[in-house]
Structures are given as structure tokens and as C-alpha cells.
Amino acid sequence: MTRKLVVVGDTLLDRDVEGVVNRLCPDSPVPVLDENNSVDRPGGAGLAALFAAGRGYEVALVTALADDEGGARLSSLLTAAGVQIYGLPLPGATPEKIRLRTRGRVLLRHDRGGPAGPPGEPSDAVLELLAGAAGILVSDYGRGVARLPALRVALANTTAPIVWDPHPRGPAAVPGVRLATPNEVEARELAGLASGGSRLAIASRCAQALRQRWRVGAVAVTLGGEGALLSHAGGTPLAVASPTCADGDTCGAGDRFAAAATLALADGALVSEAVQQAVAEASEYVADGGVATAVPAASAGGRMRPAGKAPASAPASVSGPAAVSGPAAVSGPAAVSGSAALSRSAPTSTTGSGSSAGGGSTAMGGSATRSASDPVGAPTSASDPVGASASGPDPVGRSASAPGSVGRPASGSVRPAGAASASAGPVRPGPAGGTQSGASGRGRTGTPVRFGAAPVMAVGWSDRIGARAAGDVVARVRAAGGTVVATGGCFDLLHAGHVATLEAARQLGDCLVVCVNSDDSVAGLKGPDRPLVRHADRARLLAALGCVDAVLIFDESTPHAALSWLRPDVWVKGGDYGTGADGPDLPEAEILHRWGGNTVVVPYLDGRSTSEMIAAARAGGRPGGRPR
């Protein structure tokens, strides 16, 4: 069994916006950036986890994820890179770091997400994970994960070597940590010592003070392009010089240093050997081009789509899926080019503790980019991204089942999303002179619109489809102390067996989120002739069921990324996935165990199968072999 390397800490969504500047703003003397493309990457602890992935260990990330589109995006990127997510609840919004860049230089960093809320408590599975880890990296970005008392107790009791990458706004390292890795600005702020003397002398005094105060084995102060200074039990520090002198984007170099040191210690290296290895890897990282090279945009993984969106790989200018959260601006911290190769933050930072601007291992995924001119996934306005909830009724409760209820009634009634009734409307002229017929839906402003001959892209305005809708439902149910239930599948031809499973699933909790395979995902699983019904239509049909509270479309072959973000209390599959008490566990059981969730199989109606329906139709008969 492969041993696990565990990363614990705060994860951010980093975005780089690349463009050109050729004019000043007419109403203010500031440059105007014309966006060419944007790239999403996990930052903070997520970046460190990506750097550790693919290095001989299974990598698990203990982090807090918000119930919003940013949290869904992070889960997709991390899962695509092979990182196992042990998610904790995070109130509020996903923290985002946006870097506006041109010609390899940073013009501005824009942070959003608001102040950090207290993350939720870890599950028993997280505590077991820490107890059996081969090595642990605490990547503290000052947003609360490293402060959780249960995690700190588990870290203090583990026998695994721990590397602690501290933050000035974070807590002290737990006693017994093998190595702490502040950069020199962080070390001065954390130690609180008066300045004076040479650079090495100041770093040495700060390292000694922190080692004694925190009761850790050693402290390595990173010195940018000069390497690192290691203070250990001996009186004389060890100065480790950088093997190269590189001038490049240093963003994420501190995370690369900490991840490399953790891997080395897990392999049995001495602390001095681990620091030398970390200096070499971080220096090479900057020399090779930094995060843009380490996490190439072309290695993008899947994502959870806003409702009704086509694959972002269609336009030639797009490499990877489109970003789904927020305006077209994208995130990441400000790290200008320079020689501070081992600094976590930009050389211009006042605290020396800024977040990384992106992350990833090699070609394992973990990033995505889109062209600024790409209509797929591009928001229609800065304040109203595609997939946003309609400004209409409460997205959680289409109709109140009882006072104080948080979901919708567990009924099997079927009607189009937002429609007054399920009856089909008359044929009417379409907006382009054609005709539209069918059921009513709800537009972006909450007014009825017609679906039929017109493209079903309007489904993107549904208040029950997409990551935002699912996040809203889950957050509200959790806040009310309810039970979140989820299920998933292709649902290519919706039939009575599907409905029976969905109705049974809804009765197990207070809301039901349905995870639906995208068109690309279905084709990969079932062949190029599937699906018969595109995912926009499938999502709308499911959202029209009275037992379904939200629908989430995902691109991956499995719903693992969606589950890691949603963290449902119960995951349900139809009876054709199990054989009773002696049958194997559902493949999602291990993932649900990470946060204490449960997997359940519900009875399935015999004789109802999409494949059989398709085969019967092609053979000119009916399901069950009856002739027409």
C-alpha cells in the first residue's frame, strides 16, 4: 500500500490574467490591460499539494472549501492532479488572488473573498490520516486551518516528520515539528527581534529565537536568491547557497521549497539534506520559469460546469476548461520578477506572506486557461457571470413544504423549472423569426421565457443548475442542521427507474443534489455514440423534478471532485450498483469516509435501463421485446 504524504492548510484560488498594455485610461493615469487569456490554479496549501503529487506518494490535502463556485473549481483542479481532498467546511467565499500581468510582469494584485471565517472541525478520518502519514506539511496562510485544536493535537501526537511553513497571522508551530520554513520577512515579524547587523546575522538570531520559542527541531529561513540559513541544535547555522542565480517569477517558490523538504524527510533524509534538496528544487523552479512552467495551462483537468455550457475546448484559442466563478478577472498574488527565489511572497510584499499565484505538479493537471474572446464560459457582465442564479425566488425552496423547511418537498411531481405548470405552451414566433414551443422556464430576471426550437443555452439561467445553485442549496441546508443527500449518473434517457431512485434518495435527507456526467464524460464512458441527449437538456429535465433541489454537471469520468466539494452526508446509488450485504462497497465509499459521510443503495425498478431502451428502439421493438 502506498503511503500518504499529507498537506494541511489554507487553499486559495489563484488566477493570472495575461494581456497587453498600449494605452492609459482616459479618466485616470493608469494603464489599461487588454486581456488575452486567463489561467486558474490552486494556491496556498493546494499549490504545495500539487508540487508534492506524482513523487512516489499518494498526496492528501486537508483544507477548507467554501460552498461556492470557487470551491468547486478548486476541487476539480486538485482532483485532476491526483490530490485526495479531505475537505472541511468553510463559511463565506473562496479566497481568490488575482494577478494582472503583461510581458511577464505583474501590474496589480487584486484579492477577494473577504476575511477568513472559522473553518469546520476535522472528521475522524482526517485524524486517522495524520496518525498514519509518511510525512506532513503544514502550509499556513493565516486563514484558520492550522489553528483548529483537534488538528493541532493530532499533529503533536503523530510520529511522522512535519514541516511547518508559517504565516505571520497564523499560530505557532506545534512542539516537535521537524523543520519550520519561514522566509526572512516572516522570520523577522514572527520573532519580533530588533534589526541590526548583517542579513545572515539577523536571520540567524530570528531562527534561533523561533526554534527555542516553538520547541521545534530546526528552522530554515529562506533568503530568496541567496538560498537558506538552517538553524538547528548546534550553535553554528548551516548556510545553503542557491546553485543558480535566476531572475524570474518567484511566486510559489516558497511552497516548492516546503514541499521538497517534506518529501525528503519522508524518504528518511537528514534535516540538512532535506534543506539542501529544497534549495536546489526551488532554485530550479524559478530558473525554469516558475509556476507557468511547473503547471502548464495545457494540462488542464476537468471542471464542474455552469449550467448549459459547451466544452471550453471547442475554440482553438482555448486550452483547458473555462473558469466558472466570478468576473473575467482572475487571481493570484503579486510576485514580480526578481531573484527572491525562495520567498513565498513577492519581493514588494510588506508582510512577506502573500499567497502563491498558482500551483501544480508537472503534467498532472491543476490548471486551466481560456481566451478573453472565448464566448464559452465567459461572463455576460462583471456582475453576472454565466451560471449565476436567477434573480427570482429562493434557489433552495421552489415551494415550501412546511414552516422552517430548508429544501423542497420530496414529491415526484414533474414540471419545468420555474414554470407555473407542466403543460406545453402554444407555438409562438421565436426571437429570430422561427417558432418556439414547449414549456416555460425562468429567465435571468425571473420573467418567463420559452424553450423549444431556440437553443437550450437558456438553461444556464436556471436557479437550480450549476455550481452556484448547488452550493447555495448545500450551504442553506447545512446552516439549518439538515442532511445533504447526493446522487449521480448519466441520465441519458430519463426513465421511471431513474425517477424511483431520485425519489427514494430525496427521502433520506433535506435536499438532493444530482451530479450529472457532461457530454464529454458520457462519451468517454459509453462510447462516441452517446449521449443521445446533451447535458444541458438532461440537467433541465432533472431540475424539473420535484424531488431534485440542484443539478451539478461535471466533466470528469467520476464524480469524485464534485463529491469532495459538496461533502454530502449521504451518497445514493440505484440497486443495480450493489448486490446486498456481501457485495463490494461503492467506489465512492472511501471518499465519503473522509468527512464521515455514508453510502447507500436504494431499490431499483427492474426492467428499466437506458441501454435496453436504446437497443429496443434500434431494433424496432419496445423494451421487454414486445413488438410495436
420-429: pLDDT as tens digits: 333 333 333 3
151 is written with which cell numbers?
488538528
The per-residue pLDDT for 611 is 63
525-534: pLDDT as tens digits: 988 988 989 9
138-147: pLDDT as tens digits: 999 999 999 9
Contact (Cβ atoms closer than 8 angstroms) between residue 35 and residue 328: yes
The per-residue pLDDT for 388 is 35
Phi, psi of 318 (to 5 degrees): -105, 130
Concerning whether 255 is annotated as a catalytic residue, the answer is yes
Question: Residue 76, SS3?
Answer: helix
pLDDT of residue 315 exceeding 50: no
Calculate what percentage of the chain has a pLDDT beyond 90. 57
Comparing 499 with 374, which gets the higher pLDDT? 499
Of 61, 112, 68, which is closest to residue 90 (Cα–Cα)?
68
Sign of CA dihedral 521, 525, 527, 530: negative
549-600: pLDDT as tens digits: 999 999 999 999 999 999 999 999 886 554 444 555 788 999 999 999 999 9
Mention every residue, 6+ apart, whose C-beta is less than 8 A from residue 590: none
286 is written with which cell numbers?
524559478
- Where are the strands (E) in 256-321, listed by range? 304-305
Q: How confident is the model at residue 406 (pLDDT cuts 50, 70, 90)?
A: very low
Contact (Cβ atoms closer than 8 angstroms) between residue 462 and residue 470: no
Q: Report, as an integer, the average pLDDT of 362-391.
A: 36
Q: What is the DSSP letter of 401?
A: S
Contact (Cβ atoms closer than 8 angstroms) between residue 279 and residue 271: no
Calculate what percentage of the chain has a pLDDT beyond 70. 68
Please tell me whether the overall predicted TM-score, pTM, comes out greater than 0.85 for this model.
no
Q: How confident is the model at residue 485 (pLDDT cuts 50, 70, 90)?
A: very high
For 329-446, where are the alpha helices, taking DSSP H only?
none
Residue tagged active-site, from 10, 67, 249, 255: 255
Sign of CA dihedral 205, 210, 216, 218: negative
CB atoms within 10 A of CB 268: 11
Estimate the share of the chain in helix, then strand, then coil, as percent rounded to the nearest 5. Answer: 30, 25, 50
Pairwise CA distance, residues 516 & 558, whole Å: 10
- Where are the strands (E) in 342-483, listed by range? 368-371, 425-429, 435-438, 440-442, 448-450
Contact (Cβ atoms closer than 8 angstroms) between residue 76 and residue 42: no
Pairwise CA distance, residues 498 & 491, whole Å: 7
Residues, the chain, total?
628
- Where are the strands (E) in 104-250, listed by range? 105-112, 135-139, 162-165, 179-180, 219-222, 228-231, 238-240, 248-249
